[in-house]
Structure 1
């Protein structure tokens, strides 16, 4: 892939984010996305087979970026931190990603918009699941949440953090808990999960 071809692909992905953000995923057409970049509708076919293909590429990019941000947050936790600190850090990174990339985050979890069986998407989702489960397993080895099976605890934690991310992104938390920040709520989630043990 030449540099100009790669650049166009990236420009189409950014234009897709902009178009989805302004028109919504249902109304974001390839034609409108191509218009934002200043290319013909047919030019998108060189990179993406259809709209779902473009959205799938955006979702893959999102999962890869999410993985990078979660891994960086986990790595930043001091070695002497308590057992659940890396779980909390991963949850905080997840929420920050949702707030920082709301369109990408939304597309990542909308299988009806994607080619859900695309190999790169399946791989990216699998790596995200592996990181979640691995983070919980490491915390359990250090004594956190030990009485709950690892996969179950990871899914309960993911559901809690995902819900918190969506509520925070959609400005619903401010109505219910205007004085509480997301980091404090994440620590409460971690304590609640640990209490399951």
Structure 2
């Protein structure tokens, strides 16, 4: 087995272990057992559990950036359409990669000073700002500082992703439409109204 293969298998096993036992109870021993290697074999790739979780978070941010770029490709920047498309990609990522998504936003479980993690987080932040700036150049939300607009949008979209993941949007009164795609369009309208 190649060195890189084992690293990837450990990352995938970490996701399985977290899904089965939760973040707090996922252990390196359990992860190693899933791959069929000794506990010591994990040390060749990750110094500790936080190191493994950090690598998973880096992978998550990289994947989120990639999926966001795919989602906005070909979408016009005017009227905040790319911003809304990126929001949809964010919520879909959270739904499709729930374990990775959880790990990404749990600093107490990570090596937050890891340079790869910092770079991955900054790349995600830079993409959000890039999309907001592109929309502002077309007149959308131009009176609000880009940092504020990006932060407000992210807060709303992240909250929506967490509510959807935790199945909180399924228990609503009859006649109320909490479809995430429609809500994300509303987030775009709300941000537009700030201008």
Q: Would the TM-score normalized by the shorter structure come out above 0.5?
A: yes
Match of 1:140 in 2: 136
Cα 1:43/1:126, change in 2 over 3 Å: same
- SS of the residue 1:171 aligns to: coil
Whether 1:163 aligns to 2:163 is: no
| TM-superposed deviation, 1:83 | 2.2
Give the aligned partner of residue 190 of structure 2.
Answer: 192
Instruction: Write the distance in 1 (CA, Å) between the matches of 2:181 and 2:159.
Output: 14
**Of 81, 85, 100, the match for 2:81:** 85
Query: How far apart are residue 146 of structure 1 and its match?
Result: 1.3
Residues in 1 aligned to 2:110 and 2:121: alpha-carbon distance in whole angstroms = 13
Q: Distance in 1 between matches of 2:56 and 2:49?
A: 11
Q: TM-score, normalised by structure 1?
A: 0.95
Other-structure match for 2:126:
130
Per the alignment, residue 37 of structure 1 pairs with 35
1:5 aligns to what? 3
In the alignment, which residue of structure 1 is the partner of 2:61?
A: 63
Counterparts of 2:53 and 2:125 in 1: how far apart (Å)? 20
Which of 70, 78, 100 is the aligned partner of 2:96?
100
8 Å Cα contact 2:14/2:31 also seen in 1: yes
Q: CA deviation at 1:11?
A: 0.3
Q: Counterparts of 2:178 and 2:107 in 1: how far apart (Å)? A: 32
Distance 1:98 1:57 in 2: 17
The alpha-carbon deviation at position 174 of structure 1 amounts to 1.4
5+ long unaligned stretches in structure 1? none
How much does 1:82 deviate? 3.9
The corresponding residue for 1:153 is 149
Report the Cα distance in structure 2 between the residues aligned to 1:130 and 1:179, rounded to whole angstroms.
32
User: Secondary structure of 2:79's match?
Assistant: coil
Contact 2:141 2:194 in 1 (8 A): yes
Secondary structure of 1:175's counterpart equals coil
Q: 1:86-145 deviations in whole A, cap 9, x for unaligned? A: 000000000000000000000000000000010000000000000001100110111111
Q: Distance in 1 between matches of 2:2 and 2:99?
A: 25
Structure 2: unaligned runs, 5 residues or longer: none
Q: Secondary structure at the match of 1:18?
A: helix
